[in-house]
Structure 1
Amino acid sequence: MSPNRKRLPDRRVVCSKQPRPPVVEGTRQGRAILFAVAAWRMNCHPHGSRGWKPKSMDREQLFTLATFHNRGTVMKFSKTDTALVVIDPQNDALSETGHAWGLVGESVRANNTVENLTRLFTAAKDNGFGVFVSPHYMYPHDQRWRFSGMLEKVTLDQKVFFRTGALSLADFAGSGADWLDRFKAYIEDGKTVVVSPHKVWGPQTNDLVLQLRKCGVSKVILAGMLANLCVESHLRELVEQGFEVAVVKDATAGPRHPEIGDGYAAALVNYGFIAKAVLTTDAAVKAMR
């Protein structure tokens, strides 16, 4: 070493001298605990100035990290700030006579989607939670659109969720755009908020976000149809708008296409990455009590 070169201080830290992380009792989630310990050690890493001291992390912070992947336990529901949002509870999406049944019927039956949506409606109404419905309606003027995606084109060509006009209820009762019969008592009780229709998949084109905010809602329990299209699009936009969102994974269903693939399976992957919580109907109903 050159005599004119100064020796840099040795900033290595011996692992045995690092303070031990607090013990998290009552958890068996080994991977999550390892993640938490790793994060705790990173928080103590000695990059920086001389005289470094490890930052403290209290027991509650570590427990939050340890339960990172079990997000359903972190999100709590209250009727003062939480609402049930149901997407497209309509005949064309959920009835055996609906236009979409050929693609979604198998998934609807496998998930008991209709029964689970009924349970969510019942739990929300019985426990005083707000209920919002975001419907999908198509009108004659929508058929003049000059371009569309594959499923948009099918929706327009087959007149899925079709109504004769924005201000007309002619031929609406019992149509594909009408509510599933077993949901009508919940939706038409004078308390449920039916927002303006979304036109493609997401709520960017309707007033759902405005209605939720005006009613003081900051947390959403999300369910309805179709899992990888309208439900996932609503999830993404609501998260971007600052809402905490829990998706009820068995109160939805998705299309299964022989060439394109399983839309429901694709949605579950993205729910896990995006939502604050991914719940079963049992868990959601219990949380609303």
Structure 2
Amino acid sequence: MHFTPADTALVVTDPQNDFLSPEGVTWELVGASVQENNTVENLGRLLRAALDSGYGVFVSPHYYYPYDREWQFGGTLEQKMHEISMFERRGPLDLAGFEGSGADWLAEYKPVFEDERTVVCSPHKVYGPQNTDLALQLRKRGVDKVVLAGMSANLCVESHLRDLLERGFEVAVVSDATAAARHPELGDGMAAAVTNFRYLAGEVLSTDEAVRRL
């Protein structure tokens, strides 16, 4: 893949405290993987490189509002997210209690995400962007190539990868700018994701290589 600011953008999923901070509600499950991959630093380097080189930055966040608790069914991790109050906000137009919460951006990323050039898309609710405006925002800017990173590797990142591919985008995944849960019964999400990244993505890059090429 050949990247240019005219047709390529960085898409970041779920760069939020509940995934990336030791105070986040998932740290017990994802913390080891985040530390092993150096995810926080790598994702920060990737964000700065993209913005400094004129690439569009698109954020696909994950939020839950009180009415989302009324859902009648869900998958294993989907139900778990509701149980542990992950990504919770009081409402789509209510920022009370948002600052520093699990749903908020990791603090070191805020200068990038609050830059007027960054596009914060409507939130996804399960794992993929099928019900958000991500593809619309990319297409309206002439983007057909995506460098993909963020959390969590085998859930939201992989779901975004699959959906973007089906919509005709070329996608490169930055494998050490993500991380995943490791569970004694469910297995190693990072290992599963990396295998699928290799089968699916146009390229699988390290942060060092992605930063150099951006």
Same fold (TM over 0.5): yes
Give the Cα separation in 1 of the matches to 2:198 and 2:206: 13
| Aligned mate of 2:189, from 240, 263, 282 | 263
Aligned to 1:190: 116
| Structure 1 residue identity aligned to 2:19 | A
| Equivalence map 1:85-164=2 (5 Å) | 85-164=11-90
What is the SS of the residue equivalent to 1:204?
coil
The offset of 1:193, in angstroms, is 0.1
What is the SS of the residue equivalent to 2:177?
strand
Higher relative contact order (CA 8 A, sep 6+): 2
Give the Cα separation in 2 of the matches to 1:101 and 1:157: 15
The offset of 1:183, in angstroms, is 0.2
Q: Which protein is bigger by CA-based radius of gyration?
A: 1
The offset of 1:180, in angstroms, is 0.2
Give the Cα separation in 2 of the matches to 1:218 and 1:181: 30
Give the Cα separation in 2 of the matches to 1:243 and 1:189: 25
The offset of 1:85, in angstroms, is 0.3
The offset of 1:259, in angstroms, is 1.0
Give the Cα separation in 2 of the matches to 1:284 and 1:138: 31
The offset of 1:89, in angstroms, is 0.4
1:213 aligns with 2:139: yes
What is the SS of the residue equivalent to 2:212?
helix
Give the Cα separation in 2 of the matches to 1:85 and 1:153: 26
Give the Cα separation in 1 of the matches to 2:97 and 2:52: 32
What is the SS of the residue equivalent to 1:206?
coil
| Structure 2 residue identity aligned to 1:220 | V
4+ residue stretches of structure 1 with deviation over 6 A? none
What is the SS of the residue equivalent to 1:221?
strand
RMSD of the alignment, in Å? 0.5
Unaligned runs of 5+ in 1: 1-74
What is the SS of the residue equivalent to 1:110?
helix
Give the Cα separation in 1 of the matches to 2:10 and 2:143: 10
| Equivalence map 1:16-31=2 (5 Å) | none
The offset of 1:157, in angstroms, is 1.4
What is the SS of the residue equivalent to 1:178?
coil
| Aligned mate of 1:228, from 144, 151, 154 | 154
Give the Cα separation in 1 of the matches to 2:211 and 2:200: 21
Provide, for residues 6-34 of structure 1, a one-character-per-residue CA deviation record: whole Å limited to 9, x for no partner: xxxxxxxxxxxxxxxxxxxxxxxxxxxxx
What TM-score, normalized to structure 2?
Answer: 0.99
The offset of 1:150, in angstroms, is 1.0
Give the Cα separation in 1 of the matches to 2:51 and 2:79: 36
Give the Cα separation in 1 of the matches to 2:165 and 2:171: 7
Give the Cα separation in 1 of the matches to 2:154 and 2:166: 17
Q: Aligned pair count?
A: 214
Give the Cα separation in 1 of the matches to 2:78 and 2:69: 10
Give the Cα separation in 1 of the matches to 2:212 and 2:115: 23
The offset of 1:190, in angstroms, is 1.1
The offset of 1:285, in angstroms, is 0.5
Aligned to 1:77: 3
What is the SS of the residue equivalent to 2:130?
helix
